[in-house]
């Protein structure tokens, strides 16, 4: 599991797509954005064209844990983009209590995935303190969520101005999917940072 953090227009999504295309033969793009206005619809179309036909895409604004638990057999890895937009979706529709339940479900799903996962998330705590109480609450929840995900991830990368900086672990050469139930094969042993040792 790789967590890629960065600010707006930092290049984090482009970097995540690059890694996914390097590691996964049949990647699934798990999008949390919704085309609620013309600008967002245009952005979504630009992203789809940039990814090309190799990708499949599932749009899910709320139940990302459900998608992660039931990855179609045709895929060998997932890129979830963007975690903080998902947080916003949940808070608007289900409130803070709803988010706490969804957060637990997401962390549980990530702990049990049997394939590679790349998460993209915004780093929102490096600017000024929001004036509105709701803005401060959102910033705090986003920061805690990023900490939770960083704790689970093998590798954490911060992208700034298109340049990746390693915060945790090492970048694996590839992410091999684990076998499905009933399949027996020797799995690589992983040392800290997610790099196969044999």
- Measure the CA–CA gap between 72 and 161, rounded to whole angstroms: 34
- Locate 165 and state its tokens: 């900086």
Torsion of CA 28, 109, 148, 170, to 10 degrees: -50
Q: Whole-angstrom Cα distance, residue 122 to residue 139?
A: 10
Please tell me what DSSP assigns to residue 71: -
Kindly state the tokens that stand for 53: 């036909």
Taking the C-alpha atoms of residue 113 and residue 5, their distance in angstroms, rounded to an integer, is 21
12, 47, 75, 103: which is the annotated catalytic residue?
47
Active site residue 47: yes
- Tell me the catalytic residues: 47
């Amino acid at each position: 599991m790789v967590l890629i953090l960065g600010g707006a227009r930092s290049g984090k999504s482009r970097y995540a797509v690059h890694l996914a295309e390097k590691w996964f033969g049949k990647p699934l793009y798990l999008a949390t954005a919704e085309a609620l206005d013309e600008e967002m619809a245009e952005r979504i179309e630009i992203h789809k064209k940039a990814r090309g036909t190799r990708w499949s895409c599932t749009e899910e604004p709320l139940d990302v844990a459900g998608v992660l638990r039931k990855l179609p057999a045709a895929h060998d890895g997932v890129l979830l983009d963007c975690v903080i937009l998902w947080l916003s979706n949940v808070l608007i529709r289900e409130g803070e209590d709803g988010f706490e339940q969804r957060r637990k479900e997401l962390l549980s799903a990530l702990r049990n995935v049997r394939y590679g996962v790349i998460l993209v998330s915004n780093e929102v705590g490096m600017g000024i303190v929001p004036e509105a109480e709701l803005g401060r609450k959102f910033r705090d929840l986003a920061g805690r969520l990023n900490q939770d995900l960083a704790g689970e991830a093998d590798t954490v990368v911060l992208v700034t101005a298109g340049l990746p900086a390693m915060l945790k672990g090492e970048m694996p050469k590839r992410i091999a999917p684990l076998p499905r139930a009933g399949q027996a094969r020797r799995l690589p042993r992983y040392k800290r940072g997610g790099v196969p040792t044999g």
